[in-house]
Amino acid sequence: MPEQKIYRAKQIFTGHEWLRDHAVITEDGQVTALTPLAELPGDSGISYETILPAFIDLQIYGAQGKLFSVYPEVKTLEAIHQYCKQGGAYWFQPTVATNTPDVFRKCIDAVRMYWKKGGAGCLGLHLEGPWLSADKKGAHIKVLIHKPSLDEVMDLLECGKGVIKMITLAPEVCSDEVIGYVREQGIVISAGHSNATYAEATSAFDNGIRCVTHLYNAMSALQHREPGLVGATLLHKNAMASIIADGHHVDWPAIRIAKEMMKDRLFLITDAVTETTEGAYQHQAQGDKYVASGILSGSALTMMQAARNLIDHCGIDKTEALKMACVYPALALGMEDSIGMIEPGMTAHFIATDEKLDVVQVIF
């Protein structure tokens, strides 16, 4: 017999609307109904203040002193998942910045092993580089950045088949043949660390690239005579973009401008790293951010803190801030039919919070 569970709440955000005094009914890991409390026995289920869809973090590098590229192990992915859940994100994409083929392969193997051992929440691997613009390298290792051959791409994607779900690349650096091949593998391409002109970026969006990595950071800026990748992203109806809402990577008014322009095309990531003295990227904590070799390199965000920042500093209303943490990331991955909302037929993963949006429990 299916196991039914009942989760009651004063308010439930489904991803589309707020329901007052309702319960989420689940059976065998799926949402089966959203039911008014008045229709349920008074003592049935567990009660919470607020229930929200589980958040989705599409870009996180490590946690608890374990950077994934340095420690490509199941324990690292477990640590990342635990960190994510503390901020309301059940789903995550471990991310590896520009690195050697050996490191990429070890990270691919670690994700496979994590899944084999029943590891939860990991949607797949996000490779950020190495096919980027050296002029917009940010904190990436310049000597490892390069233009790829099709053979190189085919070799890496064959190794990462079923594991690599997203690749950040500079569209002006990669041939149409390379970009076409990556898209054929069902991998989401995100334009980033790119010096593309407005025309190059617009052409890339017209030809199927549908995401942009950490808007404003490490890309050709919006200028009055050359709008660059930023300008193309703001205007193109097919382009979605992630943004780091920590107040260091992007100034608050710039986030507000992007939100006004992009509406449901803008979503949150943490871009969170962790302190490490090993490997190619040695991040040091500096207040509530991280630096590597003196360059801003990553955040100390959780997804819930990022959403709160949008509300508190950017004038974005609570409903939209929450959508940017769950609904819109699911859209970016093309997974909106299974995660990111609380609706009958969808996966039963959500978070319970108090009235201040502090995470009380991750339910799965």
Catalytic residue selected from 43, 251, 271, 354: 271
**Is 206 a catalytic site residue?**
no
Token readout for 168 is 């950040």
Max Cα–Cα distance, the chain, nearest Å: 66
Identity of the amino acid at 203: S
Tell me how far apart the alpha carbons of residues 127 and 95 are, in angstroms, rounded to a whole number. Answer: 6
Tell me how far apart the alpha carbons of residues 215 and 230 are, in angstroms, rounded to a whole number. Answer: 7
Which H/E stretch holds residue 253? Answer: helix 252-262
Q: Which contacts qualify for 84-87: CB closer than 8 Å, 24 or more apart?
A: 84/55, 84/57, 84/60, 84/121, 84/302, 84/303, 85/121, 85/359, 85/362, 86/302, 86/359, 87/55, 87/57, 87/270, 87/301, 87/302, 87/303, 87/304, 87/305, 87/359
Report, as residue numbers or ranges, the catalytic residues: 271
